[in-house]
Structure 1
Amino acid sequence: MNARDYPASVDVVIVGSGPNGAAYARILSESAPEASIAMFEVGPTVSDPPGSHVKNIEDAGRRARAQERSEGPGERAATISDPGAAKSGQRRGRAGTYLLADGYRVEGEDGMPVAAFSSNVGGMGAHWTAACPRPHDSERIDFLPDLDELLDEAERLLGVTTDAFDSSPFASIVRERLSEAVDGGRDHAHRAQRMPLAVHRRDDGRLVWSGSDVVFGDVTRENPRFSLYDETLVTRVLTDGGRASGVEIRDLRSGAVHSVAARVVVVAADGLRTPQVLWASGIRPAALGRMLNDQTQVVFAARLRDVHAGADDAVAASGALSEQSGVTWVPFSDEMPFHGQIMQLDASPVPLAEDDPIIPGSIVGLGLFCAKDLQWDDRVEFSDDAVDGYGMPSMTIRYSLTPNDHAVVERAREEIVRLGRAVGDPLDERPFTMPAGASLHYQGSTRMGETDDGLSVCSPDSEVWGVPGLFVAGNNVIPTSTACNPTLTSVALAVRGARKIAGSLH
């Protein structure tokens, strides 16, 4: 699937190999198999098959090296290795990511101190938690009548399941205790339940986490008209007569610059680099980079009460730590504008006495993600002069929480303590609010709109207004304020865009 001899022209260019770029490749391979497709990824291939989740690498040393190679210009910089590092105020990225070096905060604003990226085949899909909840209430995009069918298709592409942890001994305990705490007055869809996850369990019991490899599927990997080029930077989208006509690329191994003609270009480079590519191309609609939103994340930890270790709880068949407590979901609602996920921590975030052994799976982390007020002035800006580590226009993030945002965070802090006490004994007195950018769920910067009203970048099919043949993809296309993990929604939107392209190619 990987290739190096760049083509002179193809039908479709896809910029970025994360789950959204992979969704375009998959739908086109299924629906327009006659179309030639070239995918360009700025980072290296770090896993086998290309785009697979690094959690599936059993050897710890190889897994750590795959994470390091995903860190782009930040490779080998210090990363967060335990929950306490974030609490200490250290400005570090997670393993497999690297931080925006500067421009992450403007004086007088909140900024995004830990805005982060991954540069590797598979993008953030090689490192994510694989949570795939559906949007609820105001998270939903009301001008898409086919949203539920698109979400169904996204679940197919990502390999979403809800039963991977059914055999986990503490999963039902956590879920039952949360249900007692939150289900009163909620309809069935909003009650505490199993988290939909892009993960399945092999016959030997080992968990397999979905990355872009699962989204590609065999149909893409075996498509002779699809090629993936890693370590290749797309510097700009080319246009002819106002229409997308291809891309300019730079081979990061040799430094050589090439042009590749295309009938259609899809930019799926992530929530910050997708608008960067458009800006560098001179494609600058008024809404580009605007309405940027993240999800403020509040975290807490508790130790499950009245649980006991089994004889084989300590180690899984593969030698990896077992997952004992599963992942439980508390859905967003307009009345309670945050989304919760409760899952096992591999280690206690606070020191415990030596004579107080930890029962595997008994330490659970609680996280509430808060929906944010959308503001026109929350944005990512790009320089016409300064450049980043790849030579692309440097970024400055303008971002502030509103009084209502602060109020929602305070409500989340109170709620997470209540939930922690419901499931067990809290390990700390107070919850911790993660620095902005920590969720990695950057949205809105190339937002979708029902009409070309100047407040959006692309159409309901993800085609950029005024630039036929140019599509954008990723969490950045989502136009609503969400609290749930956005990947399922963004892949659903990618399905819609890919279908539009497939129809135009026939």
Structure 2
Amino acid sequence: MVVIGSGPIGAVAARRIAETGRAVRILESGPAISDPPGSHVRNQDRFQRDPDSYLAGISSDFTYFDETAPPRELPGACVTAAVGGQGVLWTNNCPRPAVSERGELLSPAEWDRNLGAAERYLGVTNHTFAGSVRQQRILDRLAPTLAAAGREIREQPMAGRLVDRATIHYVATRDILAGTGIPIETADVQRVIVEQGRAAGVRLADGSTVQASAVVVAAGAFDTPILLHRSGIRHQALGRYLTYHPVLYSQLVLDAQLCGDTDDLPPRLWIPPAPDAPWNTMVLRDTNPVPPSPPDIDLPSNQLVEMQSFCPVDNHPDNTMTIADDGAVRFDVPLREADNGRMAAVLADQHELAGALGRFRAGVEPQWMTLGFAHVMGTCRMGASDDGTCVTDEFGQIWGTENLYLATVGVIPNALAVNPTLTGAALAIRSADRLLAG
């Protein structure tokens, strides 16, 4: 069996297959950008010592479709080709989707079983930073007010662990595949070969072919539909129903009574989406990509936290990623009235939370990241019937093709407020189980 793409979701699918004793190969077009290959870039000493340099340090690893595009054409949309894919660059936050976000394709028991398996494969822990003084004080400060509004705040699950008080190990593809013996092979896949309704293998850029008893495409929310289109697999829903997260970012200077000592563990807290606040917010000390302004340039890290809010965009059928025959890609994802309303509410919410915790750091007041950069989903969504609104069945199998599956956040059929990697991994596990049972 062949898995195309070596990111965390492809790695989870490959591991699930390999655990049954089946032979599986991962094909990856990109080079190694971490040492050892497939390990998280952020585990490097320089980023452990200076986490605020991280996003600038990895900027060259993103290839943008069109950074000059207007907002509705997603100037932040980009891809990464590397050994380990996005798994060597991701933020590692792995909250479970709220029950209201899960849809009806899986039963509650199936969700719990597959999410639990995904958490094990990704090394997700819920209490990594339980010893953080700031974390507990922030939680105590915000919990009563949020509870009165029908919301909560809790520790953010993440794929990682503490090595010591100054070192975090971020889980990546290398960790997911540890002990499996699954090879990641350099191969630029140009198309999936489909013969008589079955995937027979893949054709590479050098003209050679790799035969396979089944193919899993795990090339991300962008490259997966591009590869399908190039392979002549052009279902009506391909590239439609696109959704993503506009991200509102800010940094706070905490009230003095909330700060811990200079060696305090960084906090990592999560305010899950709620019916009256359907967005996802994290309060954490992670990395700050925005230069501060005077008089707040030099402040100790223990006085600072960031806020990141993910605001879901409705996955309207006219939110499109259009792929031309020459490979050119164009996005058209306008923000509609409901989307703008949520974004305005998110901005007001960050101001209210900041007032309870301290003040915004000069120069790092709330600002929206470039649209399209974060968490694109729905580009090859799954569904219950081949009715033109989905690309795969509810198990991630391409309609009309017996042994061709997708493992990507692109299959998530509904707008999701939380970070999507865990959800994508859970669905990939379910897909792998169906493939193995076939």
TM-score by length of 1: 0.80
Out of 283, 286, 303, the residue aligned to residue 342 of structure 1 is: 283
| Candidates 478, 483, 486, aligned match of 2:417 | 483
Shift of 1:487: 0.3
- 8 Å CA contact retained: 1:325, 1:362: no
2:244 corresponds to which of 275, 294, 302: 294
429-438 or 371-380: which moved more?
Answer: 429-438
| 2:145 maps to 1:213 | no
Aligned counterpart, 2:142:
178
Is residue 46 of structure 2 the alignment partner of residue 110 of structure 1?
A: no
1:199 corresponds in structure 2 to 160
How far apart, in 1, do the equivalents of 2:94 and 2:382 lie? 20
CA distance in 2, matches of 1:346, 1:45: 23
How far apart are residue 97 of structure 1 and its match?
Answer: 1.9
Determine which of 351, 357, 360 is the counterpart of 1:417. 351
Whole-angstrom distance in 1 between the partners of 2:312 and 2:385: 24
Opposite residue 193 of structure 1, the aligned amino acid is R
Q: Which residue of 1 aligns with 2:310?
A: 369
Relative to 1, partners in 2 of residues 1:80 and 1:360: Cα closer, same or farther, differing over 3 Å? closer
**Following the alignment from structure 1 to structure 2, what is the Cα–Cα distance between the partners of residues 357 and 259?**
56
Counterpart residue identity of residue 23, structure 2: S
Q: Note the C-alpha offset of 1:308.
A: 8.1
In structure 2, the residue matched to 1:97 is 62
**Structure 1 residue 95: deviation in Å?**
5.2
Of 244, 249, 268, 2:218 maps to 268
Amino acid in structure 1 at the alignment position of 2:176 = V
Number of residue-to-residue matches in the alignment: 432
The structure with the largest helix share of the pair is 2
Matching residue of 2:189: 234
TM superposition shift of 1:156: 0.4
Which residue identity does 1:18 align to in structure 2? G
1:147 to 2:121 alignment: no
What's the % identity of the aligned pairs?
Answer: 30
The equivalent residue for 1:246 is 201
Cα distance in 2, alignment partners of residues 308 and 111 from structure 1: 41
* Equivalence for 1:87: none
Are 1:47 and 2:34 an aligned pair?
yes
* Contact map agreement 1:287 1:455 (CA 8 A) in 2: yes
Task: Quote the residue 1:169 is aligned against.
Answer: 133
Q: Report the Cα distance in structure 2 between the residues aligned to 1:147 and 1:248, rounded to whole angstroms.
A: 35
When residues 481 and 308 of structure 1 are mapped into structure 2, their CA distance, relative to the original with a 3 A threshold, is closer
* Residue 400 (1) aligns with residue 356 (2): no
In structure 1, C-alpha distance between the alignment counterparts of 2:35 and 2:97, rounded to whole Å: 32
- CA distance in 2: counterparts of 1:490 and 1:496, whole angstroms: 10
- For 1:118 and 1:447, locate their aligned partners in 2 and report how far apart those are by CA, in whole Å: 21
SS at match of 2:219: coil
**In 2, distance between residues paired with 1:337 and 1:60?**
33
Cα deviation code 1:162-187 (max 9, x no counterpart) = 1111122311122222213312253x
Tell me, yes or no, if the aligned pair for 2:8 and 2:425 is still in contact at 8 Å.
yes
1:305 aligned to which of 247, 250, 255: 255
Gaps of 5+ in 1: 1-11, 68-78, 83-92, 251-255, 314-322, 386-392
Distance 1:359 1:394, change over 3 A: same
CA deviations over 1:141-178 (Å, ceiling 9, x no partner): 22201111111111001000011111223111222222
TM-score by length of 2: 0.92
Gaps of 5+ in 2: none
